Amino acid sequence: MEENNQQTIVPVLSPGEGQAKLMSPVQAQIDLATRARPGQPTKRNPELINTILDKIACGRSLMSICSDDDMPGYSTFRGWMRNDSELREAVLLAYEEHAETLDDLADDMLSGGVASTGDFQRDKERVAHLRWRLGKLNRRFREKAQLDIVQMQPVILDMGTIEGEGGDGV
């Protein structure tokens, strides 16, 4: 069987519009990962929440975690976060640890460690992307802006006649 390397475009009908829209394969994957899993009982318990938080802290994305069969759906977990401020705070803390893990990963890549691909230019680009992403995830990794404060002193001009060449009093 031949493998087709071209991207496929999947037609999808948008509810209420009645016309076909084209969806990219990336959007199809996102929809698949974030789909609701109706009919499954809620699995929420402290052990499950701690497992999810540990996986986030170790560098996995919430979307990839929720795509595992033994985990709740992405939209389910986001719903839990909306309704539980304690969980929301715990996830934010896990993402702070997540940022530190990604920083360690970037350092490992640049030093030729286990996360390195062996291609320095590729690793350099991956690290640049990780560092950009770290700035979005955690304020500690943001670019620092230089701010120079200059004090302005008022200057009083004597509006008298200017003496000399080119002045009024010549």
CATH number at residue 105: 1.10.10.60
Domain assignment of residue 51, yes or no: yes
Distance CA 45, CA 56 (A): 17
Question: Does 91 have pLDDT greater than 80?
Answer: yes
Domain assignment of residue 161, yes or no: no
Range of the domain at 122: 10-35+43-141
Domain assignment of residue 89, yes or no: yes
Which stretches within 24-166 are classed as H helix? 25-33, 46-57, 62-66, 74-83, 85-110, 120-137
Tell me the helix, strand and coil percentages in the chain, rounded to 5.
50, 5, 45
Domain assignment of residue 163, yes or no: no
pLDDT score at 136: 78
Domain assignment of residue 15, yes or no: yes
pTM: 0.59
> 97-106 pLDDT, tens per residue?
988 888 888 8
Residues in the chain: 170
Domain assignment of residue 3, yes or no: no
Domain assignment of residue 153, yes or no: no
Domain assignment of residue 120, yes or no: yes
Please count the structural domains in the chain. 1
